[in-house]
Amino acid sequence: MTRPLHLCLIMHSTRSDNLGVGALTRSEVEILRGVAADLGRTLTLTVIDWKDARPA
């Protein structure tokens, strides 16, 4: 049995007002899921968001 892959995406954002930033994060997640599946490995992924400055 192979060990699961544990990865962390630091300084990514899934809540940004800039939709391109969110799209890039989602794209990276999907790429990593695909790589793990191709390798037959389980993937545990953590995304560390930052809070964008938003107008009050």
Q: Is 32 a domain residue?
A: yes
Does residue 33 form part of some domain?
A: yes
> According to the model, what pLDDT value does residue 12 have?
86
| Of 12, 9, 11, 2, residue with least CA distance to 38 | 2
pLDDT at residue number 24? 92
In-domain check, residue 29: yes
Model pLDDT for residues 5-52, shown as the tens digit of each residue: 999 999 888 888 888 988 999 999 999 999 999 999 999 999 988 766
Could you tell me the residue range of the domain that residue 22 belongs to?
5-49
Please check whether residue 54 lies inside any domain of the structure: no
Q: Please check whether residue 56 lies inside any domain of the structure.
A: no
Assess if residue 17 is contained within a domain: yes
How many angstroms separate the Cα of 50 from the Cα of each of 5, 20, 32? 23, 15, 20
Count the domains in the chain: 1
* More confident call, 35 vs 2: 35
Tell me the C-alpha distance between 4 and 26, whole Å.
21
pTM of the shown model:
0.78
Q: What are phi and psi of 12, to 5 degrees?
A: -105, 170
Residue 10, in any domain of the structure: yes
Closest CA relative to residue 7, chosen from 17, 35, 23: 35
Residue 41 falls within a domain, yes or no? yes
